[in-house]
Chains A and B, each alone.
Chain A
Amino acid sequence: MRLPRNNPILRIAVVAGLLALLPAEQLFAGPIAYLVTVNTGAISGTSGFLDFSFAPGNGSQAAFVSIGSFIPGGSLFGSPVVHGGVSGVLPGTVTIDNSTAFNDYFQGFHFGTTIQFLLSFGGLAVTSPDGTSSGSTFGFGMFENSAGTIPLLTTDPFGNAFTVDVNPDGSTTPTVFPADVLGAPPAATLATPEPASCALLALGVSVLFARGRRAIKPSTTL
């Protein structure tokens, strides 16, 4: 079957529909997916950089995060700067693992009013957590300069608009930071879909992840 190429949400729905007969509770044991919406209205029309990063802690289990269903709202520019365990290219699915200390995808961007993407976590740390090791952390930030030293729309001193910790028990914990020191709401909102739809969504996305990873090989199609 050939999936629609230009509408990632529709692709998710199609794949999810194909696999909907599987029990959802076996497919989605915890909040491993977030629909992320970033309000960039305050900087719309400007250019900057997006930063996606995923890092292990002290002796963490293997894990990965996928950024999919990317709806930019603005436009990408230039080539991404990539470090460590990263595969894929935006606006397609980008997968970042925790295999090195610095796993990072840094991309030039013309900001529009919003950015949206689906963030999903996987790997042993999520599917078979040993409960005794440390977690891993995903971070998303926006920056004014290519050096990544001037953060946008966050009060986090390290420059993240939000982070998501993958905890040692396999659960996840999001933290969003206020957009400015005056207490403006966080630029990012992380929504966890209702369990039933979330299961389907995650399932669909997981299939797309697999496809996205294979897509690194030019000849692979679903």
Chain B
Amino acid sequence: MSLAVTAWAQTPIPQRRGWEAHMLQQGARFCNQADIDAAIGSGGVITEGNVWYYDGARVYDQIAVYTGDPSWYTCAGYSNQAYRDWVLATTAGAQWPVGALGGWRVFPDGLLNDYRRTGDSNSRDAVIRLAQNSAFAGSGGAAPCITSRETAYIINAYLAAEDVGQPRDPLLATAVNYALGHIDQWFVSRTCPDVMPFMVGLTMEALINYYEKTGDVRIPPQIRITADGLWSTAWVPASSSFYYESRGDQTVGIADLSLLIAPAYAWLWQKTGVAKYLDRGDQVFAGGVLYANFWSGKQFSQNYRWSFDYVKWRSAKPNSLGVGSTGFLFSRVTGTFNGKITVTNTGGQAVAGNILVELLNLTPGVTLVNATGTSGGTPFIVVPGTGSLAPGQSVSATVQFRDPSNALINFAPVVY
């Protein structure tokens, strides 16, 4: 029993040309220092309908890298300086979080990139201010799903602060737990009164960012739950996009926000090789490129904030990890069925990090006694001792099942 895995063959990314064309055309259109300075600066925020919102500095940095054209750094600089001035002015002298630096306006990555590229200490200081003095910096976000964006953003800020030399903020763990709680509210307990897919995308972005830096094994299964949940509840095929919010019209999608979500599917496909994530990611991405409107710089930054990672993950060869098992022998000593699952790297590239096996569709009534954890009720186990799995190499983990009815123990493994 297994999920369909796609054999690797580099297929073109649907609508990539369009994505590149919009990047250049709209990027040039919104690279306007006067407009940016009029939208935000040390005097305050005049409008969010501008490229600074959703981190224009980060967007233009990525364009510069993607195109190899350093002139885009000029545009990054416009956005970075204006936003940075606002952050520093708003938090000047503050010893604690200030409400004026709202939690939905926390964009540390462009600042971080600028500090790395130029060494400008003002950009470094602004990163630290976001992590220490923005509205939710002192709480690590909040539990209600309505604060998911603020929680996601403060995760990004804590991580960026580490990247400029700050010690790990103890509230990072709190923030991540809040974010995992939001996923539960959206797709497991379904207690969130209003699910907004683009904010779900922001949470996935922050958690993937956090996972890439920490290897927290809870994250990949939660991303799977989120991506599956979004697809099953919020995808509107007729619109080739997700609806805006569950409280609103669920029959109409909004493509402007699709590229805040698509990269999560490419990430899952890259990690697991499971074909449906490739297919879904391509649909989300292509729909976003085809139907997005760039009403203002805000929409432009929403479209290009994270989508470079879509192209990166979608272009990379996915992991290819096969899973097998021994028989599961019953032990009267432990009252459990015991065996091993073995993960083999069947691809041509090493796989770094913890190897995590999630047991989907486990036979009803069967429980994995020695699970590392569960995600939405699905157990997963970390294969011990794996730092990197070379091509052809295998690793195993002991598994213990409780199976009161002696039913055949079957499951669909997903390996991250």
Chain A interface (Cβ < 8 Å from any Cβ of B): 51, 53-60, 83-84, 98, 100-102, 104, 133-139, 143, 147-151, 157-160, 163, 165-166, 168
Contacts and interface: CB of A to CB of B under 8 A. Distances in A.
Contacts of B325: 57-58, 60, 134-135
B340 to A, nearest CB: 8
B406 A102 contact: yes
B333 A135 contact: no
Nearest to B322: A132
5 contacts: A57-B326, A57-B409, A59-B410, A147-B332, A151-B333
A55 B325 CA distance: 11
A168 B408 CA distance: 18
Contacts of A157: 331, 333-334
- B-side interface mostly: loop
B327 A98 contact: yes
B115 interface: no
B330 interface: yes
Contacts of A134: 324-327
Given A101-B409, A137-B339, A60 B327 contact: yes
Given A55-B337, A134-B324, A100 B408 contact: yes
A57 B333 contact: no
Interface in B308-355: 324-334, 336-339, 341
Contacts of B411: 58
Contacts of A102: 330, 337, 406
Interface string B403-414: 100111111010
A133 B337 contact: no
A53 B339 CA distance: 13
A135 B326 contact: yes
Nearest to A134: B325
Interface of B: 1-2, 324-334, 336-339, 341, 403, 406-411, 413
B333 A158 contact: yes
Contacts of B406: 83-84, 100-102
B28 to A, nearest CB: 52
Contact of A57 (B2, B324, B332): B324
B408 A56 contact: yes
A56 B327 contact: yes
A159 B324 CA distance: 23
Given A55-B337, A148-B333, A165 B403 contact: no
B332 A165 contact: no
A58 B332 contact: no
A122 B310 CA distance: 49
A165 B408 contact: no
B327 A160 contact: no
A137 B409 CA distance: 14
Contacts of A136: 326-327
A134 to B, nearest CB: 4
B408 to A, nearest CB: 5
Contact of B329 (A59, A137, A148): A137
B328 A104 contact: no
Contacts of A166: 327
A102 B337 CA distance: 9
A135 B410 contact: no
A122 to B, nearest CB: 15
Given A101-B408, A133-B324, A57 B330 contact: no
Which 4 pairs between the two chains have the least Cβ-Cβ distance? A137-B327, A148-B332, A57-B325, A158-B331
Given A102-B330, A148-B332, A168-B324, A57 B403 contact: no
Contacts of B403: 101
**For A55, A60, A147, A150, which residue has the most chain B Cβ atoms within 10 angstroms?**
A55
B415 to A, nearest CB: 13
Most A CB atoms within 10 A — which of B324, B341, B407, B413? B324
B1 A57 contact: no
B410 A165 contact: no
A57 B334 contact: no
Contact of B330 (A101, A149, A150, A168): A101
A59 B341 CA distance: 12
B407 A101 contact: yes
A159 B330 CA distance: 10
A149 B324 contact: no
Contacts of B329: 53, 55, 137, 139, 158, 160, 163
A151 B334 CA distance: 11
B328 A56 contact: yes
In this complex, which of A54, A60, A134, A150 has the most chain B Cβ atoms within 10 angstroms of its Cβ? A134
A164 B352 CA distance: 31
Given A100-B408, A158-B338, A168-B324, A55 B330 contact: yes
B337 to A, nearest CB: 6
A59 B328 CA distance: 11
Given A58-B409, A157-B334, 5 more contacts: A53-B329, A53-B330, A55-B337, A57-B327, A135-B326
A133 B1 CA distance: 8
B358 to A, nearest CB: 13
B327 A54 contact: yes
A102 B331 CA distance: 10
A165 B413 CA distance: 20
Contacts of A139: 329
Contacts of B324: 57-58, 133-135, 168
B360 to A, nearest CB: 11
Contacts of A168: 324
